[in-house]
Chains A and B, each alone.
Chain A
Amino acid sequence: MTRAGPIIVVLLAIVAIWYAAAIGLNAPWQNDVYRRGDMVDVPFTQFVQDTWNQEKPVLPTAHQVFGELWNSTALVAPNKPRSLIFHAWVTFSATALGFVMGSLLGVGLAVLIVHNEAMNRSLMPWIVASQTIPILALAPLIVVIGFNIFTGTMGIPTDPARLMSKAIISAYLSFFPVAVGMVKGLRSPEAIQLDLMHTYNASPSQTFWKLRWPAAMPFLFASLKVGVAASLVGAIVGELPTGAVAGLGARLLAGSYYSQTVQIWAALFAASILAALLVIAVGVVERLVNRSMGARPA
């Protein structure tokens, strides 16, 4: 409780500020409504209530956002395009696929870099340089082109092709933190430990599996958490180009076209909840792996 107390207080403060800000930001529109309706001397309580319950508010209130979340998750069948669960699933599947590809690539690159000096000197600067390319800016291009290649030359049906082209962006975003973290992690054993392996006459592969790999675990999971968040951003941005018809990113864009503010906020919250769940899932796996490897809780 001692740890949760301050967080709850801060959260309540944020909600209070949120409602106060909603009055201020939605007031101009509300005053217009009153003026058009020739309503004078509206009691203040009703004015506040009205600002909190507008159709297309500048700033929707918490109960509107969560109401929309509830309406579009619990009250709609999850296979309908009106359902946020449906959109979240589309985004999640691209995120998960890209995250798995990116993580494997990142770990593979890290192993190469740690074991080969030429690789280290030539690849490392480029891994860093690869991140200077604003891949998110390229997302529309990659999604459109990837989609065309997958459907055209490879003859993959549209839905998996759409998924793959979004997953590529996710993979690109998530491989970097994993590669850098794993290089750090695989190099984390100290000289004295490596020397011990040497004394045992351990082969490079034995050294890798018995010393480097276990030593890199904490680094791996720290970077996986960063990577999974990056994957989600990649999948969402990958859904922005026209042609994306489903997914949280598409919901955001549709809401922004039709200024459905409540819908935008609901999609945003859904994305945040998804991000939290993904990070928590990585944390759970980390705990399981630690337990099975016999790590003591630090």
Chain B
Amino acid sequence: MALIAAWLFAWLFVERLSKTLAPGLGDNAGLGLLIPIAFGVTILVVWEVVTRAGNVPQVILPPPSMIWARITASVPTLLADFQQTFLKAVLIGYALGCGLGFVVAILIDRSPFLKSGLLPLGNFVSALPIVGVAPIMVMWFGFDWPSKAAVVVIMTFFPMLVNTVAGLNASSAIERDLMRTYAAGYWQTLMKLRLPAAGPFIFNALKINSTLALIGAIVAEFFGTPIVGMGFRISTEVGRMNVDMVWAEIAVAAVAGSVFYGVIVLIERGVTFWHPSVRGA
């Protein structure tokens, strides 16, 4: 009963806030953040109350307080896993995959034939369950992080390729004509017009890939790992029914993924400051 009341109260609070915010104050970051934060706190409170009051077995869903206790108690383990999975497999694979996709896009952009041959394939591969190559990569590159990085490279390559090629065609004919009137060469046009115009597309791919990379690395670790890594920890602790540890690992992964995404958004705002979606036009 109290729970429903709390929920209704939170609901009214959000409703009020939205009403006061709706006329014009939408850009105020502080207030704009307040609502989701209030909502999040509500969810955590409800989660805690339900799991404690409803006697939900810890195996199914431990309360947030217990997860937090587990996080603070096992910082070294979590840190080692984070280093193994995120700092090695994810970041290296991400950099390689995005870099390769970008370079290949610029190379095939010069050849209409290759473009019409590779792009449909790239789009097709984007829909495939690429995570399945993990066992093959483990065989080729061994159990340690290179095999995970290889999976991440394959996963991130195609979105980057397709988006960059689309972005390179984003500049309009009149802008390209202007470059011609300036007698700009191919490379000058690329650097000064087409790449900046492709910025939003490239960052779109970078954002998509940031989540793909993390998930790819974690799932790849289900197929065989050394005894460290987030995916390894999750799969073994599930087997041992230490669910609080699993959730702690998930929390770390969620925070890492969000921060990773946020950093890319910040870079995007700095680089494509001219774009309407950033200017808030």
Residues of A at the B interface (CB closer than 8 Å) are 3, 6-7, 9-11, 25, 58, 117-118, 120-123, 125-126, 129, 131-134, 136-141, 144-145, 149, 225, 229, 232-233, 236-237, 240-242, 248-249, 252-253, 255-256, 259, 261, 264-265, 267-268, 271-272, 275-276, 279
B209-236 residues with Cβ-Cβ distance < 8 A to A are 211, 214-215, 218-219, 222-224, 230-231, 234-235
Q: How many angstroms between the C-alpha atoms of A276 and B116 in the bound complex?
A: 19
- From known contacts A118-B14, A256-B135, A261-B139, infer whether A134 and B36 are also in contact, taking CB-CB under 8 Å: no
What number of residue pairs across chains A and B have CB atoms under 8 A from each other? 151
- From known contacts A7-B120, A118-B11, A136-B215, infer whether A276 and B127 are also in contact, taking CB-CB under 8 Å: yes
How far, in Å, is A33 (CB) from chain B's closest CB? Answer: 18
Which residues of A sit under 8 angstroms from B113, Cβ to Cβ? 6, 9
A137 touching B250, Cβ below 8 Å: yes
B250 touching A138, Cβ below 8 Å: yes
Q: Which of B11, B39, B235, B243 contacts A125 (CB 8 A)?
A: B39
Which residues of A sit under 8 angstroms from B243, Cβ to Cβ? 141
Q: How many angstroms between the C-alpha atoms of A290 and B211 in the bound complex?
A: 33
Q: Which of B135, B249, B250 contacts A255 (CB 8 A)?
A: B135
Q: How many angstroms between the C-alpha atoms of A264 and B135 in the bound complex?
A: 8
- From known contacts A7-B116, A122-B14, A134-B218, infer whether A264 and B136 are also in contact, taking CB-CB under 8 Å: yes
Which residues of B sit under 8 angstroms from A232, Cβ to Cβ? 129
Q: How many angstroms between the C-alpha atoms of A229 and B234 in the bound complex?
A: 24
- From known contacts A133-B254, A272-B128, infer whether A118 and B133 are also in contact, taking CB-CB under 8 Å: no
Going nearest first, the 7 A-B pairs with the smallest beta carbon separation are: A256-B135, A6-B117, A10-B117, A125-B36, A229-B127, A137-B218, A6-B116
Residues of B at the A interface (CB closer than 8 Å) are 11, 14-15, 17-19, 21-22, 35-36, 38-40, 43, 59-60, 113-114, 116-118, 120-121, 124, 126-129, 131-136, 138-140, 211, 214-215, 218-219, 222-224, 230-231, 234-235, 238-239, 243, 246, 249-250, 253-254, 257-258, 261
- Interface of chain B, main secondary structure: helix
Q: How many angstroms between the C-alpha atoms of A241 and B18 in the bound complex?
A: 44
Which residues of A sit under 8 angstroms from B250, Cβ to Cβ? 133-134, 137-138
B138 touching A132, Cβ below 8 Å: no
B127 touching A145, Cβ below 8 Å: no
B14 touching A259, Cβ below 8 Å: no
A-B contact pairs, 17 of them (CB 8 A): A9-B117, A10-B118, A10-B121, A58-B139, A121-B17, A132-B254, A132-B257, A134-B253, A138-B246, A232-B129, A233-B131, A240-B222, A256-B134, A264-B135, A265-B136, A271-B129, A276-B124
Which residues of B sit under 8 angstroms from A131, Cβ to Cβ? 211
Which residues of A sit under 8 angstroms from B114, Cβ to Cβ? 6, 10
Which residues of A sit under 8 angstroms from B138, Cβ to Cβ? 256
Which residues of B sit under 8 angstroms from A265, Cβ to Cβ? 136
A121 touching B18, Cβ below 8 Å: yes
Which residues of A sit under 8 angstroms from B116, Cβ to Cβ? 3, 6-7
A145 touching B59, Cβ below 8 Å: yes
B39 touching A122, Cβ below 8 Å: yes
Q: How many angstroms between the C-alpha atoms of A89 and B40 in the bound complex?
A: 39
Which residues of A sit under 8 angstroms from B127, Cβ to Cβ? 225, 229, 275-276, 279
Please name the residue on chain A nearest to B32 by beta carbon.
Answer: A121
Which residues of A sit under 8 angstroms from B249, Cβ to Cβ? 137
Which residues of B sit under 8 angstroms from A58, Cβ to Cβ? 139-140
How far, in Å, is A275 (CB) from chain B's closest CB? Answer: 5
How far, in Å, is A124 (CB) from chain B's closest CB? Answer: 8
Q: How many angstroms between the C-alpha atoms of A297 and B9 in the bound complex?
A: 49
B14 touching A237, Cβ below 8 Å: no
Q: How many angstroms between the C-alpha atoms of A232 and B38 in the bound complex?
A: 34
Which residues of A sit under 8 angstroms from B126, Cβ to Cβ? 229
A236 touching B132, Cβ below 8 Å: yes
Please name the residue on chain B nearest to A265 by beta carbon.
Answer: B136
How far, in Å, is A143 (CB) from chain B's closest CB? Answer: 9
How far, in Å, is B7 (CB) from chain A's closest CB? Answer: 12
- From known contacts A131-B211, A132-B211, A271-B132, infer whether A122 and B35 are also in contact, taking CB-CB under 8 Å: yes
How far, in Å, is A89 (CB) from chain B's closest CB? Answer: 16
Q: How many angstroms between the C-alpha atoms of A138 and B252 in the bound complex?
A: 13
Q: Which of B22, B139, B257 contacts A259 (CB 8 A)?
A: B139
